Amino acid sequence: MTIAHEEAVIDAAAVDAIFAEARTANAFTGEVSDDQARAIYELTKFGPTAFNSQPLRVTYVRSEVARAQLVETLSAGNRAKTSSAPLVAILSYDTAWTEQWDKFLPGYNAPKAMFDAAPDLAASTGNNNAHLQAGYFILAVRSLGLAAGPMTGADFAAIDAAFFPAGGQKSFMVVNIGQPGPDAFGDAKPKFAYNDVVRTV
């Protein structure tokens, strides 16, 4: 039992499923239902973002045509994984996320002017917070007893051209989702120790 397990307010099995024993899967089996796909987002949305902005957008790829389009944009080592995954998600951010201000932060729109005056800041903030939400997305997948295979080995400009041609979304990650298949996991890779990463000042 680690100190993380001892200090957690959820049981050890949940800690293991979400963190300690969870691994990135490279092979998949089973099915992912529409209810499970929805539940992944319904958990993801509760994670904090700057100004409650929630710029993440999720595109689930289910059709054979869309899957084939997506696979063509992936690096060679990722294509088989995505071809066989029960469900695949393209994660992107809403390039016009500030236009939703009255929905995500009603009654306090003063900061919007700062982003309107600085498009690069708006873009980086949207991108950064969508990446933050991607972490929540992966943990949500794991919390449902599924495995996630997040990937950034892709031609994201090609993904955007194929799936978001109007320019309203910018993709940054593809996530394979399902039950882990045979040989889904390689050898466990080392993680940095507390003293390697953390300091108190």
**Residue range 38-52, pLDDT digits in tens:** 999 999 999 999 999
Let me know if residue 194 belongs to a domain.
Answer: no
- Could you report how far apart the first and last alpha carbons of the chain are, in Å? 28
The CATH number covering residue 148 comes to: 3.40.109.10
Residue 146 lies in a domain: yes
Q: To the nearest 5 percent, what fractions of the chain are helix, strand and coil?
A: 50, 15, 35
73 in any annotated domain: yes
In a domain, 3, yes or no: no
pTM for the full model? 0.96
CB 150 within 8 Å of CB 174: yes
Domain total for the chain? 1
Q: Is residue 177 within 8 Å of residue 146, measured between CB atoms?
A: yes
* CA 167 distance to own-chain centroid: 20
Tens digit of each residue's pLDDT, the chain (201 residues) = 789 999 999 999 999 999 999 999 999 999 999 999 999 999 999 999 999 999 999 999 999 999 999 999 999 999 999 999 999 999 999 999 999 999 999 999 999 999 999 999 999 999 999 999 999 999 999 999 999 999 999 999 999 999 999 999 999 999 999 999 888 888 888 999 999 999 999
Supply the range of the domain harboring residue 78. Answer: 27-181
Give a yes or no: residue 151 inside a domain: yes
Is residue 64 in some structural domain?
yes
In a domain, 171, yes or no: yes
Is 7 part of a structural domain of the chain?
A: no
